[in-house]
Amino acid sequence: MTVARNLRKAFYVPVVAALFVPLVPLTLTRPAVTAERIVIDRHTGLAIGGFDPVAYFVEAEAVAGKGEFEYALADTVWRFRNEGNRAAFVDNPEVYTPRFGGYDPVAMAREVGVEGNPRVWLIVENRLYLFYSLEARAAFADNFRTIVEEAARNWPAVQTTLSGR
């Protein structure tokens, strides 16, 4: 599938105010796949705002996860829409975790760590990317190879400047 076609499938939905959700500590049942920083919602403590990372791939849309389908990996709590999506993530977190931990690759290419919005996304070459804005997503779609190369080069240094997990 081409980037342009993926861009048409990925769409922006207005952000709904986050609710405070009490978190129950979960036991880590699998070693961490990566030491990457992950975008954590500062209100809920959930990875990528509580959105189901598997749903981007199987449903081609941003879908909020449910509290009954959570999984903790490397001190990060992920939510899923259903048990099947949770199981897929548990089996292959490296496939479903957003590239650059959910930070915007366009900003990363400029050596800046900006959290991506889980509602502004794109899958390119079987990797999920989150973006700060529609404009950043469009710029990425126009020149994704160069942006990914620059972002990957900058990611290790930028991670050291990020606060939180």
Instruction: Give residue 54's pLDDT.
Output: 98
pLDDT tens per residue, range 46-89:
999 999 999 999 999 999 999 999 999 988 999 999 999 999 99
The mean per-residue pLDDT over the stretch 89-101 comes to 97
Entry pTM: 0.79
Instruction: Give residue 10's pLDDT.
Output: 47
Taking the CA of residue 66 as centre, how many other CA atoms within 13 Å lie in the half-sphere pointing to its CB? 8
Instruction: Give residue 162's pLDDT.
Output: 87
Contacts of 14 (CB under 8 A, 6+ apart): none
Confidence check: pLDDT of 94 > 80: yes
Instruction: Give residue 17's pLDDT.
Output: 31
Instruction: Give residue 36's pLDDT.
Output: 78
Instruction: Give residue 108's pLDDT.
Output: 97
Measured between alpha carbons, how far is 32 from 19 in angstroms, rounded to an integer? 28
Tell me the CA end-to-end span of the chain in Å, nearest whole number: 33
Confidence check: pLDDT of 32 > 60: no
Closest CA to 97 of 32, 160, 29: 32
Instruction: Give residue 35's pLDDT.
Output: 59
Instruction: Give residue 122's pLDDT.
Output: 98
pLDDT tens per residue, range 97-153:
999 999 999 999 999 999 999 999 999 999 999 999 999 999 999 999 999 999 999
